[in-house]
Amino acid sequence: MLSVRNEGATPAQAIIRVEDWDRAPDGNNRFYPAGTVSGSCAPSLQVFPMSLSLKPGETQRIRIDYTGPAKRASECWSLVVVETPAPRMQANGRQLVYNVRSVLKVYVAAEHLPVDGEVEGLSVARTVTSAGRQQDVAIVAFANRGARHFVTKGRVEIRREDNSLVQTLELPPMYALPGAIMHGTTVLPELPKGKYLLISTVDYGGSEIAAGMYAHEVR
């Protein structure tokens, strides 16, 4: 069940529908028509009612039913979207009408689906900050090879040629859907000239910790 409440002072209309989504490699959400994304739950999702009319302060519930197979080989995912028009007045007196979208992410997964992942690549790229200063960024490419989504915890170690540790850098969480390749980045500190070894480790909740290495030279 999904509860929708009108927090405004005037009656509100809402349309409910199912859409698809996934994540770009940098983690940003992307939205698509229902049934167009591999792994979509849309063909097996039914919502009722498909529209709402809410008085100020009123709450109504939306029923979400999954009609697909109980045992799936892989997780599926979609969105239930509640969209309402919200008119506003501009300073010049013209009316601006836009739609407010609230979404609920729906995942459907059988128990004991395999969880697997690997670091596909570790590299360093030179970037320029908004202040015009150059900096090196470590980029970890991580692939979800399992059958369900997960959130990773990772870090990058910087080591000298003698294997002594220079610094450990935390990676931001990566939200990986099945089959996705996500990119986690972290800014490297200014390092003296020399050769270094970068070691990335990513915990995705599986039986092992995924790892990758990269030889980095500062000239």
For the stretch 28-69, pLDDT in tens is 999 999 999 999 999 999 999 999 999 999 999 999 999 999
User: Of 92 and 199, which is predicted with more confidence?
Assistant: 199
Beta-carbon neighbour count of residue 201 at 10 Å? 17
Task: Give me the domains of the chain, ranges plus CATH numbers.
Answer: 2-108 (2.60.40.10), 117-218 (2.60.40.10)
Give yes or no for residue 101 having a pLDDT over 70.
yes
Distance in angstroms (rounded) separating the CA atoms of residues 104 and 127 = 36
For the stretch 86-98, pLDDT in tens is 766 666 767 777 7
Contact 186, 169 (CB under 8 A): yes
Q: What is the structure's pLDDT at 88?
A: 66
Of 49, 52, 68, whose CA–CA distance to 107 is shortest? Answer: 68
Contact 25, 33 (CB under 8 A): no
Q: What is the structure's pLDDT at 128?
A: 84
192 Cβ neighbours under 8 A, 6+ residues apart: 218
| DSSP letter assigned to residue 40 | B
52 Cβ neighbours under 8 A, 6+ residues apart: 4, 12, 13, 14, 16, 60, 62, 82
* pLDDT range class, residue 99, cuts 50, 70, 90: confident
Q: What is the structure's pLDDT at 43?
A: 95
pLDDT, average across residues 56-84:
94
For the stretch 127-141, pLDDT in tens is 888 788 889 999 999
